[in-house]
Structure 1
Amino acid sequence: MLPKIIEQPAKKLIGFYIEMSLVENKTQEIWKQLMPRLNEVQQVVSADLFSLQIYPEDYFSNFTPFTPFTKWAAVEVKNFDTIPEGFQKIEIPAGKYAVFLHKGTTEMFVQTAQYIYGEWLPKSGYQLENRPHFEVLGDAYLGHENPDSEEEVWIPII
């Protein structure tokens, strides 16, 4: 599973976020906020959905499953001119990303993460950069419980 290395321009997203940890996983809560309100969003770039994580700077060096981080459920927009009431905005800064393809259920994601952070990254010559990590849920995303589901995993690197 070799990644594509992509120099990504900045992206504007709107959606909802929540503070959580891996032990106290609240991912479904923010998706339940976003999905019924997608039709309110104007100037959408594509039908892709974004699952985004903002980790504290020392998250990976002092990792525990209890360490809190910020989780987003969002959609990319052309600009921030029209934001529906209650939505929050975030801009992902431009930068280099390693893009992996995860195929399988959410439960299988731990294997993908172990490969990325435990095998690929230490041997790659790259380092993590303190920018948002995100997954793009596009046309091949069939739901978190479908073993044939696919999503792109974007890891910020330098």
Structure 2
Amino acid sequence: MQAYAQLHGAEPRIELLPEKKLVGKKLTMTLTNNRTAELWGSFMPRRKEVQNTISSDLYSMQVYDPSLDFKNFTPDTVFEKWATTEVTEFTDIPEGMERYILKGGLYAVFIHKGAPSAFMKTFQFIFGYWIPQSGYEVDNREHFELLGEKYKNNHPDSEEEIWVPIRTVN
């Protein structure tokens, strides 16, 4: 936990995200049966087919069952994983891709620096340390990683944003 805080700063940005229109592909998976490479391997060669894109940023999104209590999350929890890009409007959706409206709302935004192999430490910091002490709890909306210009797939200097939906504790 200390290593994450030293590298990235202990406090995330808190942002109110507007609704976003996304187009991409999805697969159902668990952390135990992680199909992320398969998903992105099928999306990336075709991402230029998506019309009306806003930027070159990509969204790696997880959609969980609305009834999930994140205190009970395990490596075998089933979720939908999406590989997407943001668009201004839903026209001419490429065959084999789908549209998705990301609801938006309040998010804690963390920075992950490094290769995917170091991701678990970042998640342990977020869910094991920051959330329990923050005055917030995880909300049942989409989680996503924003893969922007600093993202360098599998490179130790890669940087991405982890967006965790939050709400104040009642």
TM-score by length of 2: 0.89
**Partner residue of 1:153?**
162
CA distance in structure 2 between the partners assigned to 1:132 and 1:117 by the alignment: 15
Deviations 1:45-72 (A, max 9, x none): 1100110001223252222211111101
Deviations 1:3-31 (A, max 9, x none): 10001100110100001010100001110
Give percent identity, aligned residues only: 49
User: SS at the partner of 1:61?
Assistant: helix
**Partner residue of 2:94?**
84
1:118 counterpart = 2:131? no
- Whether contact under 8 Å (1:10, 1:93) holds in the other structure is yes
- Whether contact under 8 Å (1:59, 1:67) holds in the other structure is no
CA distance in structure 1 between the partners assigned to 2:140 and 2:68 by the alignment: 9
- Whether contact under 8 Å (2:53, 2:87) holds in the other structure is yes
1:51 counterpart = 2:60? yes
**Partner residue of 2:110?**
100
CA distance in structure 2 between the partners assigned to 1:141 and 1:43 by the alignment: 22
CA distance in structure 1 between the partners assigned to 2:17 and 2:28 by the alignment: 26
- Superposed counterparts of 1:37-76, under 5 Å: 37-56=46-65, 57-76=67-86
Query: After TM superposition, what 4+ stretches of structure 1 lie above 4 angstroms from structure 2?
Result: none
TM-score by length of 1: 0.96
User: SS at the partner of 2:107?
Assistant: strand
Pick which of 95-104 and 60-69 moved more. 60-69
CA distance in structure 1 between the partners assigned to 2:113 and 2:54 by the alignment: 24
- Superposed counterparts of 1:7-22, under 5 Å: 7-22=16-31
CA distance in structure 2 between the partners assigned to 1:39 and 1:72 by the alignment: 16
> Structure 2 regions of 5+ residues with no counterpart?
1-8
Equivalent residue in structure 1 for 2:38, among 13, 25, 29: 29
1:141 counterpart = 2:151? yes
Letter in 1 for 2:113: K
Let me know the Cα RMSD of the aligned residues. Answer: 1.0
CA distance in structure 2 between the partners assigned to 1:128 and 1:66 by the alignment: 19
